[in-house]
Amino acid sequence: MKITEILKKEHIIADLNLDSKNGVLNEFSEFLKKKGAIENKEALFEALIQREKLGSTGIGENVAIPHAKLDNIDTIITLFARSKKGIEFESLDKKPVHFFCLVIAPANSTGLHLKVLARISKLLKSSSLRDAILNATAVDQIFTILTEEDSKFDNGKAIYL
């Protein structure tokens, strides 16, 4: 799986300027509704809130991977966002989050959903990648940084979504 199979350039937010977890999750829901990727922003927001109640998706090292499953979608939907100032997200290491990768999977998805979460987690472990994204000046640059780093992985088998 390549990141380009699951992330569209138009689903990148280069400068997220919010100050709360709920604000971030609401912004993601509204953004994807405006882009036509989802039909019901309230359903997505509620699914994300319910998932966060199980434990924060702030995995540490300034990274959060909020995720949920939704009815009425038939493919994985992702969104990447950067916050230069960082946002309190109840992360495991208590650090503010600068890098968000939202993953929404169809309600009946199991294996693919987990593969996507693992791929994103692996990609965002790179401190040099995170530094480059933090210093990027535009969406195009962020997308290029992500795809170039992703191409370094040898696990590049295609997944047909």
Q: Which residues are catalytic?
A: 67
Produce one character per residue of 90-112: b if its CB has 16 or more CB atoms within 10 Å, e if not: ebeeeeebbbbbbbbbbeebeeb
Whether 113 and 105 have beta carbons less than 8 Å apart is answered as yes
d(CA 113, CA 104): 8
89 is written with which tokens?
Answer: 């997200």
d(CA 155, CA 31): 31
